[in-house]
Structure 1
Amino acid sequence: MRVLMLSWEYPPVVVGGLGRHVHALARTLAGQGHEVVVLCRQPAGTDPETHPASDTVVDGVRLVRVAEDPPHLTFERDLVAWTLAMGHAMARAGHRLLRDWRPDVVHAHDWLVTHPAIALAEAAEVPLVATIHATEAGRHSGWLSHTHSQQIHSVEWWLANRADALITCSAAMRAEAAELFEVEPESITVLHNGIEADTWQARATGAAARGSGGAPLLLYFGRLEWEKGVQDLLAALPRIRERHPGTTVAIAGCGTHQDWLVEQAAEHGVSDVARFVGHLPDPELQSLLSTADAVVLPSRYEPFGIVALEAAAAGAPLVASTAGGLGEIVHDGRTGLAFAPGDVEGLADAVDAVLRDPRAAAQRAEAARARLGSDFNWERIASDTAAVYAAAECGEHPPLARPKIATGNVLGRGE
């Protein structure tokens, strides 16, 4: 099939797990014989002089990267306007593509590409498939209190109701999307994220160092946002250190809440043992994974949790909340230890159990790694995605009214 994907992330432009997902899916589909074009963007904050639009083939995937429009818009300050400008650039590039190439399907990844994806699917007269990777309401515990959150939710609702086929990365996300966007759960296909496990194997020297008698090292890696729950790990650290003196934590990643988290570390008296190491290149992250006594993923909200797969591939013991998709990856007592989102005491107890019994932790880590080849294999996920493409049909698309914006909690959550 000829597939046109649209994504606001594609390596080396990676903000979170979405970029890794689209990259692996596109390359695997191309390897299976499909003709894949990915319409994506140049780095934020650039312009057509510093980063002109490009059209290249990498790993069998044709990448069409669009330059930012010239107005002074920034992602951090002008989110919706910046997104519309990106969509404008993608739509123009997409229409140029359609002059001599026609896809069989358009695949939109998340709300930021809604406008160009709908426009190009209609121009090509082909089905629109959409993957909902997360929701604005979910990221804010069910609240749509701010104008920009209401605007984003409206675009998500539009994409979900306009698409001819919907995909989510977990059963938890399917239930969330169905509730938020008023679509039937049975119409949504659940396709988990995958992992290329070989690239995350722990180095033998690092694996030998784990549990060698030194001070315990905990690791968090991912975006530094409120919903990732790093504040709960920092709050639990004093309790963990009472039971296991000398324990330190490395926090790898960047995000809008980094300064606040640094303040949280100071408030809990752990500034000297909680190291914020920033975004790490994969080789450095793999090295750190190989020596960590446990990877802690304390998310308050997590549509899937691709970092859990990466930790499992590296053989690192997992301690994770049961938020969203993490509960489908980490089976408590079998492939890791789990705790309720926001439960600081439960987090501390789970870490304590890992550090007290490294042999049992290693057995759980091995069980987690063993699942990767069957349950999270990209070849199978790509084949299942192609099946969604093949089954999708252009439906009737009457005009849609604006969605109602709830004044209360749209997911019935307390926070």
Structure 2
Amino acid sequence: MSPDADLIAINPGRRLRILMLSWEYPPVLVGGLGRHVHALSGALAAAGHEVTVVTRHAAGAPLREHVNGVRVIRAAEDPVAFPLATGSLLAWTMAFNHTLTRAALRAGDDGEYDVIHAHDWLVAHTAITLAEHLGLPLVTTIHATEAGRHQGWLPEELNRTIHAVEHWITHESDRVIVCSGYMRQQVTSLFGAPQSRVDVVPNGVDDRAWRAGARAVAAARARFAGDGPLIGYAGRLVYEKGVQHLVHAVPRLHRRHPGLRVVIAGDGPYREQLQAEAAALRLDGTVRFAGFMTATQLPAMLAATDATVVPSLYEPFGMVALEAAAAGAPLAVAATGGLAEIVEPGVTGVTFPHSDPEALAGAVDRLLADEVFARRVARRARSMVGERYSWPAIAGLTVLTYLGAGREGGRHRPPTAPAKIVVPEGNLLFRDDQAS
């Protein structure tokens, strides 16, 4: 199913009562998922729907509050706490789901709902329990897959268990939402879900929040640029984001563009390795690791660049590409995953094969060598963001998925036997060409 946004204006439908489950929500923000749930719930509430978000508690945050039309219920951690770390992730997730389930059941006592919307595998146990207990349709957004994060491999017991939970909640859901056609192919092939139950609803972006003023852009340019062009990157510093390939492309670009500077915004476990690689290439004066930037600093930095690079090996959607486009940056992105669906080569940016520093350098050089072309594709990309990826439009498409799930009967159907999940050790679930 590919919902048509134009239907929203013609038939807005009835007011829905939505119970949303997420392991992160402001002020708890780990990655993009929390921001997504926050923006989506707000857009749904603005459209007149009744939205309750049940999430985990953070120190200093109220257990219950109404914010921008959204009721937020936070599940306090039990006295026997588990650390949120890789080695204890499954134990932490199970403990978290106990507290989340209790909080969500109390929310169920407070009122009636039409649909449950779960976000990712970390809330699977609560979502499935609640859907069966309340007899409601279950919609799940799969934001990424464990197999995709590891390029098709499930090397450890932890990875295989997460994969199994993703499989489970996919089959227990009445409808599954994914952010791109690439992710739809992954979910249907990895988990055997029928395509008719997997809806593509892209992520949204508030383009107004990414438009920096002229003074802020000039200040960012003065701070980060040298006598030549400025290249930017924003995102987590982890292997699958491919920043290492950007670093290795810099010497080629520097030879073509003297005075070139590169600013890398963000942090993560791969930062020390990246800094070591930059030092080995003698790029200390060229590449700057700027760390995290504020909501004011980041749009200004992106707008100040002559090219913003998204070199990911794996990218279910490519939110940073939309944000950079909204900021007005010319885009050079890896032709992988959802990124390949956002950027049309030569129209809204340029693309290159992932994991190829030479091709990356060639794509960026095309932007740096032709300023008229670079600004033209940047303008088109910025217009595209406003037309296709506004949060009101994304909320409307999500409502169509809710209505589809409701028509299919939800948890009122008799329970079916769970699908058997077999994941051999070290199994390669898809080839590299499928992953890209």
Q: Say whether the 8 Å CA contact 2:212–2:296 is kept in structure 1.
A: no
Structure 2 residue 424 is matched with structure 1 residue 409: no
In 1, Cα distance between the equivalents of 2:62 and 2:420?
Answer: 34
Structure 2 residue 367 is matched with structure 1 residue 354: yes
Q: Say whether the 8 Å CA contact 2:180–2:316 is kept in structure 1.
A: yes
399-408 vs 82-91, which moves further? 399-408
Which of 245, 248, 254 is the equivalent residue of 1:232? 245
Which amino acid in the other structure matches residue 413 of structure 1?
A: D
Q: Say whether the 8 Å CA contact 2:75–2:100 is kept in structure 1.
A: yes
In 2, Cα distance between the equivalents of 1:59 and 1:208?
Answer: 33
Which of 74, 81, 85 is the equivalent residue of 2:95? 85
Which of 276, 291, 302 is the equivalent residue of 1:289? 302
Give the TM-score of the pair, scaled to structure 2: 0.89
User: Structure 2 unaligned runs (5+)?
Assistant: 1-15
Give the TM-score of the pair, scaled to structure 1: 0.94
Residue 312 (structure 2) aligns with: 299
Residue 253 (structure 1) aligns with: 266
Structure 2 residue 330 is matched with structure 1 residue 317: yes
Say which SS state the counterpart of residue 432 (structure 2) adopts: coil
Change (3 A) 1:178 1:396: farther
- Counterparts of residues 7-406 of structure 1 (less than 5 Å): 7-43=22-58, 50-51=59-60, 54-76=63-85, 77-205=87-215, 214-392=227-405, 393-394=409-410, 395-406=413-424
Following TM superposition, by how much is the alpha carbon of 1:41 offset from its aligned partner in structure 2, in angstroms?
1.6
121-130 vs 394-403, which moves further? 394-403
**CA distances 1:232-264 after superposition (whole Å, capped 9, x unpaired):** 111111111111122222111122222222222
Which amino acid in the other structure matches residue 92 of structure 1?
A: R
**CA distances 1:146-194 after superposition (whole Å, capped 9, x unpaired):** 1110011011001111101111000000001111111122321101111
Following TM superposition, by how much is the alpha carbon of 1:387 offset from its aligned partner in structure 2, in angstroms?
1.3
Say which SS state the counterpart of residue 390 (structure 1) adopts: helix
Change (3 A) 1:273 1:396: farther
In 2, Cα distance between the equivalents of 1:39 and 1:324?
Answer: 30
In 1, Cα distance between the equivalents of 2:360 and 2:177?
Answer: 31
Residue 46 (structure 1) aligns with: none
Which amino acid in the other structure matches residue 198 of structure 1?
A: R
Following TM superposition, by how much is the alpha carbon of 1:215 offset from its aligned partner in structure 2, in angstroms?
2.4
Following TM superposition, by how much is the alpha carbon of 1:208 offset from its aligned partner in structure 2, in angstroms?
6.6
Query: How many residue pairs were aligned?
Result: 409
Following TM superposition, by how much is the alpha carbon of 1:290 offset from its aligned partner in structure 2, in angstroms?
2.1
Say which SS state the counterpart of residue 78 (structure 1) adopts: helix
Following TM superposition, by how much is the alpha carbon of 1:275 offset from its aligned partner in structure 2, in angstroms?
1.9
User: Structure 1 unaligned runs (5+)?
Assistant: 44-49
**CA distances 1:67-93 after superposition (whole Å, capped 9, x unpaired):** 222334222231111111211111111
Say which SS state the counterpart of residue 99 (structure 1) adopts: helix
Say which SS state the counterpart of residue 39 (structure 1) adopts: strand
